[in-house]
Amino acid sequence: MNGFTIREARREDCREIRRLIQELADFEKMPDEPKIDANVLEEDGFNPEHPYFYCFVAERSLEDSGDAVVPNNSGEFSDIGACGSSNTGTSDDSNANILLGYALYYYTYSTWKGKALYLEDLYITPGCRGQGLGSAIFNRVAKRAFESRCSRLDFAVLNWNPARDFYKAKGAIDITEEEGWHHYRLDREALAKLALEVNKVNVNNE
């Protein structure tokens, strides 16, 4: 059956994942933000002793394999230019290695509820949207959280992103609206500044 296969990411997928990360950054109007390369993804995500993240990927499939197969609306594949574009410069002659989407996640911890899962990115390339693929890959992440006995699944969505309605339909609540929580961040420069303060205190106490 023609459709889309969702499977666990492999080390050799990292170059394609990096390409999709850039697509997502472009969509979010922050094209200069991604600083990592495929080598960093390989090191951080596929270290057998301590992976820092996990990832599901979606690709074209002609047979029922992987975690799920989702046929598109017509039951057949769209043209490769519309879904899994071959103009990225990363494909080979068979287009077998082209990824159509990904969901990258990692485990966190709540002192109130215990183990939790954080969905960092979920992205489907434009030509493949509206065919159930985003829903299927999100469900795989939710299933992983449930099977891992996580207390919750957390993620952030830009306020202008129409995907907010998609997530609400899945049962997600906006905790900023409902509970008043705001997500804060210290960037690398702020971390360096605080680390320097600690070093100064340690020197003065010696």
List, for residues 83-122, the tens digit of each pLDDT value.
Answer: 655 444 444 444 457 999 999 999 999 999 999 999 999 9
Which residues 6+ apart lie within 8 Å of 163 measured at CB? 157
The pLDDT confidence band at residue 71, using thresholds 50, 70 and 90, is low
- Give the H or E element holding residue 29: none
Residue 22 pLDDT exceeds 90: yes
Q: What residues act catalytically? A: 167
List, for residues 128-147, the tens digit of each pLDDT value.
Answer: 998 899 999 999 999 999 99
| Range with the poorest average pLDDT among 64-78, 102-116, 168-182 | 64-78
Q: Supply angle C-alpha 116, 52, 157, rounded to 5.
A: 55
CA atoms of 183 and 111, how far apart (whole Å): 17
Q: What's the pLDDT at 46?
A: 97
Q: Go through 128-141 and write b for each residue having 16 or more CB atoms within 10 A of its CB, e for each that does not.
A: beebbbbebbbbbb
Tell me the residue type at 127: G
Q: What's the pLDDT at 65?
A: 57
* In the chain, % of residues over pLDDT 90: 74
The candidate with the shortest Cα–Cα distance to 14, out of 39, 47, 34, is 39
Residue 11 pLDDT exceeds 60: yes
Tokens of 32: 């200069």
Q: What's the pLDDT at 197?
A: 95
Residue 75 pLDDT exceeds 60: no
For the entire predicted model, the pTM comes to 0.84
* In the chain, % of residues over pLDDT 70: 81
Residue 28 pLDDT exceeds 60: yes
Which of 3.30.70.3420, 3.40.630.30, 3.40.50.150, 3.30.420.40 would CATH assign to domain 3-205? Answer: 3.40.630.30
Q: What's the pLDDT at 2?
A: 57
Residue 127 pLDDT exceeds 70: yes
The candidate with the shortest Cα–Cα distance to 155, out of 122, 178, 111, is 122
Helices (runs of H) and strands (runs of E) counted in the chain: 6, 6
Q: Go through 37-46 and write b for each residue having 16 or more CB atoms within 10 A of its CB, e for each that does not.
A: ebeebbeebb
